[in-house]
Amino acid sequence: MASSAPIHGNWIAGKWVPARSARTFENRNPADVTNLVGRFADSDARDAKDAVDVAAEAYKSWRLVPGPQRGEILYRLGEILRDRKEDYARDMTREMGKVLKEARGDVQEAIDMAFLMGGEGRRLHGQTTPSELPNKFAMSVRSPIGVCAFITPWNFPMAIPAWKTTAALVCGNTVVIKPATDTPLSVVNFARALEDAGLPPGVFNVVTGSGSKVGMPLLKDPRVKVVSFTGSTAVGQTINEACAPTFKHVHLEMGGKNPILVMDDANLELAVDGAIWGAFGTSGQRCTASSRLLVHKKVVRRFTAMLAERANALKVGSGLDEKIEMGPSINESQLDTVLDYISIGKDEGAKCVAGGRRLAGKAHTKGWFVAPTVFTDCNRRMRVAREEIFGPVTSIVPITSLEEGIDIANDSDYGLSSAIFTQDVNKAFVAMRDLEAGIFYVNLPTIGAETHLPFGGVKKTGNGHREAGLAALDVFSEWKSIYVDYSGTIQKAQIDVPAGAARPPKKRT
């Protein structure tokens, strides 16, 4: 019953507290909207300020905790998440709809990040290097930056918060996170695991509520030094502008329109398998979704027929049922966006060979289900082949050569992920070199990143940083270069070059 759904507060200073407004908002299951997952604190600028107050205070001591001890807490976080993986995955499927297998993968990413960054606690390597002067020592070390504000999306409700949080914490920063309104429960669960791992109060804080009412005041707070956002390019731009006047570090991970090139020598079974997974995994709601399939014209008819057959056969429904292969769209407005794009594709003259409609069967009436949709006969100018749809829709564009495929792939505002299916190593290497993207796969679709490699994109996908991997440490630390002179004199770099160290070249006669 709706009234028995749990009520969750904000996590501030190691306590669950209601919003200052005392209001809550509902979180419902997108596969069955009669199912209320919980009520969450409907916060505003006052709650954001409370959380920053606490995070700024906690920073004073957390930054001085030795890295190995910070790492040990993250290691315990990984163990706790591993123990609770099934429960947290079920909560995630209920709140955002992805099938259980994928929700388990999402929690697993958080586990992987916790162990990766746990290990970094004993590394956080800097460089030592010789000085140009005698009796002088030179090195660089990573320093924490301060309070970090995270604004995260609903499609990877635990993995993305974990990418950001584990890297920030191991470097010695404190955190305030505002999760997406559609998926606060996974971040509440993450906070519980961090608490049980022994993280001191105030180091990690959660404030739930809308982007405009909580997110904007949070990131504008002058005490926030780093803003890390994952979401749409439109909101990313607004955030970038809001942070510019105070020169905050801003880390933006945004949209994608990710191409798979399928060459005429490809193993077509494999390519179809990859395209199904890449296009319809998480109902196409991945920033790395394979939403453009650039297929050599010699194989495009066969590829299209195989793909359409597989798409039509996908079992769509509640992700809590293990037999289901694809869940719903996240909410009604996203469903409307997807249906609008399907109409746009048809109006533009793209041929719909699978799906193309909202599902209306008995299992679908209470949720936001769209049939897996394949458009073919597309060209690069069509909106369905250019714009991010964020739903189970993919567009096939025929190509005549590798060069044309690369040209079309790069003719995009985005540059997150890319892939090629080919048996020819030469083609694979040319594509690897020339595709403009932060991620590239050979004989895999555009999804499936591993946590210990850098994640992020070029062009309007990102603004030059990377998440995950060791690259994440560069976002959450500042380099400090240190010189120690033990010569007893003031030696001047570049000027007091020791005699004989660099003889001038002989003059030509």
User: What is the set of active-site residues?
Assistant: 287
Q: What would the two tokens of residue 442 be?
A: 């050979």
Interface segment toward ligand NAP; rule CB under 6 A; list 132-140, 153-161, 345-353, 487-495: 153-161
Q: Considering CB distances under 5 to 8 angstroms, the limit depending on partner class, which of Mg ion, ligand NAP, none binds residue 95? A: Mg ion
Of 295, 287, 290, 268, the residue nearest 278 (C-alpha)? 290
In the complex, the smallest distance separating the C-beta of residue 437 from ligand NAP, rounded to whole angstroms, is 11
Residue 372 vs residues 269, 279, 347: alpha-carbon distances, Å: 19, 9, 19
Q: Considering CB distances under 5 to 8 angstroms, the limit depending on partner class, which of ligand NAP, Mg ion, none binds residue 169? A: none
Q: What would the two tokens of residue 208 be?
A: 């739930």
Does 32 bind ligand NAP (CB under 6 A)? Our answer is no
Does 32 bind Mg ion (CB under 5 A)? Our answer is no
In the complex, the smallest distance separating the C-beta of residue 35 from Mg ion, rounded to whole angstroms, is 9
Interface segment toward ligand NAP; rule CB under 6 A; list 118-126, 150-158, 167-175, 261-269: 150-158
- What's 317's DSSP letter? S
In the complex, the smallest distance separating the C-beta of residue 31 from ligand NAP, rounded to whole angstroms, is 18
Q: How many H helices and E strands in the chain?
A: 14, 22
Query: In this structure, which amino acid lies at residue 269?
Result: E
Interface segment toward Mg ion; rule CB under 5 A; list 47-55, 118-126, 174-182, 419-427: 174-182
Does 390 bind ligand NAP (CB under 6 A)? Our answer is yes
- Cα separation, 118 vs 169, in Å, equals 10
Longest Cα separation, the chain: 97
The tokens 């049939």 sit on which residue? 371
Task: Kindly give the residue spans of alpha helices, DSSP state H, lying in 19-66.
Answer: 45-62
Restricting to residues 199-238, name those near ligand NAP by CB under 6 A: 210-212, 215-216, 230-232, 235, 238
Does 153 bind ligand NAP (CB under 6 A)? Our answer is yes
Q: Considering CB distances under 5 to 8 angstroms, the limit depending on partner class, which of Mg ion, ligand NAP, none binds residue 328? A: none
Does 9 bind ligand NAP (CB under 6 A)? Our answer is no
Contact yes or no for 254/243 (Cβ under 8 A): no
Q: Considering CB distances under 5 to 8 angstroms, the limit depending on partner class, which of ligand NAP, Mg ion, none binds residue 391? A: none
In the complex, the smallest distance separating the C-beta of residue 471 from ligand NAP, rounded to whole angstroms, is 13
Q: What would the two tokens of residue 157 be?
A: 């409700």
Task: Kindly give the residue spans of alpha helices, DSSP state H, lying in 352-509.
Answer: 402-410, 425-434, 471-475
76 or 98, CB closer to ligand NAP?
A: 98
Q: Which of 388, 408, 444, 451 binds ligand NAP (CB under 6 A)?
A: 388
Does 469 bind ligand NAP (CB under 6 A)? Our answer is no
Q: Which of 42, 47, 50, 95 binds Mg ion (CB under 5 A)?
A: 95
Query: In this structure, which amino acid lies at residue 338?
Result: V
- Cα separation, 273 vs 221, in Å, equals 47
Does 190 bind ligand NAP (CB under 6 A)? Our answer is no
Q: Please give the backbone phi and psi of residue 85, each rounded to the nearest 5 degrees, phi first.
A: -55, -45
144 or 445, CB closer to ligand NAP?
A: 445
Restricting to residues 264-293, name those near ligand NAP by CB under 6 A: 287
Q: Please give the backbone phi and psi of residue 12, each rounded to the nearest 5 degrees, phi first.
A: -130, 130
- Cα separation, 274 vs 268, in Å, equals 10
> What is the edge-to-edge ordering of all strands in the sheet holding 7-8?
7-8, 32-41, 24-29
- How many Cα atoms occupy the beta-carbon half-sphere of 329 within 13 Å? 22
Q: What would the two tokens of residue 62 be?
A: 């957390």
Interface segment toward ligand NAP; rule CB under 6 A; list 14-22, 48-56, 174-182, 395-403: 174-182
In the complex, the smallest distance separating the C-beta of residue 315 from Mg ion, rounded to whole angstroms, is 22
223 or 346, CB closer to ligand NAP?
A: 223
Q: What are the beta bridge partners of residue 292?
A: 259, 395
Q: Which of 109, 182, 195, 388 binds Mg ion (CB under 5 A)?
A: 182
In the complex, the smallest distance separating the C-beta of residue 316 from ligand NAP, rounded to whole angstroms, is 20
Contact yes or no for 186/91 (Cβ under 8 A): yes
Q: Please give the backbone phi and psi of residue 183, each rounded to the nearest 5 degrees, phi first.
A: -140, 55
Q: Which of 151, 185, 428, 472 binds ligand NAP (CB under 6 A)?
A: 151
Contact yes or no for 421/260 (Cβ under 8 A): yes
- Residue 195 makes CB contacts below 8 A (sequence gap 6+) with 11, 14
Interface segment toward Mg ion; rule CB under 5 A; list 25-33, 217-225, 244-252, 268-276: 25-33
In the complex, the smallest distance separating the C-beta of residue 181 from Mg ion, rounded to whole angstroms, is 8
Does 27 bind Mg ion (CB under 5 A)? Our answer is yes
Report how many residues bind ligand NAP under the rule CB under 6 A: 29
The contact set with ligand NAP (CB under 6 A) reads: 151-156, 178, 180-181, 210-212, 215-216, 230-232, 235, 238-239, 253-256, 287, 388, 390, 416, 461
Contacts with Mg ion by CB under 5 A lie at 27, 95, 182
